[in-house]
Chains A and B, each alone.
Chain A
Amino acid sequence: ETGVTQTPRHLVMGMTNKKSLKCEQHLGHNAMYWYKQSAKKPLELMFVYNFKEQTENNSVPSRFSPECPNSSHLFLHLHTLQPEDSALYLCASSQVFRGKAGNTIYFGEGSWLTVV
């Protein structure tokens, strides 16, 4: 597999459910991201991980819980979500080189989440 892969592609969950989104990057990058994309809104950065360490939490509600066990894998654990959390959740990766941020970012296909 190449690039950034996300599973599942589609998820429907109730407000009391617990589910997880999974992301794996095959690009050898060391920074990974979660973005949220809602209808007719720009991309919203949620979390950033550099070398497995979380470096950014963009005031995301605690019902979203990220996990980054290594530089290639990223999870987003979901619990007690609200209908307004329905959106496309995008994982992305980039390369940090010699302490400087990457100059491009690559996205997965996204996970379409519907909260009912």
Chain B
Amino acid sequence: DAGVTQSPTHLIKTRGQQVTLRCSPKSGHDTVSWYQQALGQGPQFIFQYYEEEERQRGNFPDRFSGHQFPNYSSELNVNALLLGDSALYLCASSVGTSGANVLTFGAGSRLTVL
């Protein structure tokens, strides 16, 4: 039973470019949350998708957007990349109305912005 899978695992972009990160949730999960983890810091909540809609959003600018597909997979898009966007981007999946104890994290996508 596959857990949360994310792609790509690593990528390098330059300032001003756009990036798309992908996430497939754990089998049986229908909710996807995205977190940004800067080096040496804890993860910070970006947003959460359920039933193909953004349900909650953290303190991130509109350059960060997302999408959830009918098969529950999700994408995170970041436009006009800044150096400060360099981080590990974590996807976590869960069952919609369950507690946080069933959040399953993927291994992340490491983004480097030059």
Partners in one complex: no
Binding site for A on B (CB under 8 A): none
Taking Cβ atoms with an 8 Å cutoff, the residues of A that contact B are none
